């Protein structure tokens, strides 16, 4: 199938250079490169779940379970009360 695409000059030069070095048609090099790119972005079905090791940071019990925004607001309110 024929189609027209815009390719930056740098990429076009690289593709032509690869085709010249390998002594293969430009079209084959473009197709091969596109297939490799499409294959690289496909999600792996065998991926393992990510495990994150957590660490205690010494947060006071009154602050546990708060979001960072809530924690910041609470600390800011306590700071304002001391002034």
Answer yes or no: is 30 within a domain: yes
Answer yes or no: is 21 within a domain: yes
User: What average pLDDT score do residues 33-48 get?
Assistant: 77
Q: What b/e readout covers 24-41, taking b as 16+ CB neighbours within 10 angstroms?
A: eeeeebbeeeeeeeeeee
Answer yes or no: is 48 within a domain: no
Under the banding of pLDDT at 50, 70 and 90, the label for residue 49 is confident
Answer yes or no: is 15 within a domain: yes
Answer yes or no: is 46 within a domain: no
Domain count, the chain: 1
* Domain assignment of residue 13, given as a range: 9-41
pTM: 0.47
């Amino acid at each position: 199938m024929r189609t027209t695409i815009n390719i930056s000059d740098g990429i076009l030069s690289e593709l032509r250079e690869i085709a010249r070095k390998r002594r293969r048609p430009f079209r084959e090099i473009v197709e091969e490169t596109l297939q490799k790119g499409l294959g690289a972005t496909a999600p792996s079905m065998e991926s393992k779940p990510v495990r994150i090791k957590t660490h205690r940071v010494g947060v006071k019990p009154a602050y546990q379970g708060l979001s960072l925004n809530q924690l910041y607001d609470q600390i800011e309110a306590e700071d304002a009360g001391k002034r």
